[in-house]
């Protein structure tokens, strides 16, 4: 899998949503190898998008389509400043990945402190997660070459997520803090979830 994490500030959430809907109706049919998109806007106007593709080649082909270029030229005007694009093939899908059933998506940005430990811990946590955190539907982690990461975690609802996080065992939190440094949380209380 290849993913693009796209982030920027916006002032008109409805206009961005309309642009995404237009992409789905008009451009999706020609997006060969596109696997899905998760997007949304935080309360402070940060728009973050996770676009998933079968491969880097599929993403490149999509970007080179004239209609994709035209769509982005129009959509980019809706952002109030710089838009960052971060691409990677180093993707960890856990508990089946994202889910279009999610009512809440929390995005965490940070740095991996110990990659080997992180990979082991994800496998260990995944085995226990279904019982310990039924509020979590799955997740996708985009690991970047500079050891930073963006983690998209899909929940049934924000209320369930907030309640369940109160009961996290201290030892589990300590393990996580020794493995990942979290620099920011981006809460998508009304996530936009798209699939082929």
Domain with CATH 3.30.70.100 in the chain: 2-89, 91-193
pTM listed for this prediction: 0.92
In the β-sheet with 104-112, what is the strand arrangement from edge to edge? 91-94, 136-143, 148-155, 104-112, 180-188
Fold classified for 2-89: Alpha-Beta Plaits (3.30.70)
Check if CATH label 3.30.70.100 holds for domain 91-193.
yes
Instruction: Give me the sign of the Cα torsion angle 125, 189, 187, 70.
Output: positive
pLDDT in tens, the chain (196 residues): 999 999 999 999 999 999 999 999 999 999 999 999 999 999 999 999 999 999 999 999 999 999 999 999 999 999 999 999 999 999 999 988 988 999 999 999 999 999 998 988 888 888 777 778 889 999 999 999 999 999 999 999 999 999 887 776 667 667 777 788 999 999 999 999 999 9
């Amino acid at each position: 899998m290849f993913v693009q994490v796209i982030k920027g500030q916006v002032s008109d959430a409805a206009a961005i949503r309309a642009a995404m809907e237009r992409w789905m109706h008009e451009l999706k049919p020609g997006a060969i190898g596109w696997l899905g998109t998760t997007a949304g806007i935080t309360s402070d106007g940060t728009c973050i998008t996770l676009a998933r593709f079968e491969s880097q080649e599929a993403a490149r082909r999509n970007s080179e389509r004239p209609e994709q270029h035209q769509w982005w030229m129009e959509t980019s005007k809706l952002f109030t400043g710089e838009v960052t694009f971060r691409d990677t093939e180093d993707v960890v899908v856990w508990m089946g990945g994202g889910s279009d059933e999610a009512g809440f998506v929390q995005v965490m940005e940070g740095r991996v402190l110990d990659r080997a430990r992180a990979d082991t811990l994800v496998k260990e946590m995944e085995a226990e997660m279904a019982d310990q955190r039924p509020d979590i539907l799955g997740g996708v982690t985009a690991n970047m070459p500079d050891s930073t990461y963006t983690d998209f975690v899909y929940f049934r609802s924000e209320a369930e997520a907030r309640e369940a996080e109160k009961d996290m065992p201290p030892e589990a939190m300590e393990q996580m803090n020794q493995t990942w440094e979290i620099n920011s949380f981006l809460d998508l209380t009304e996530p936009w979830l798209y699939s082929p």
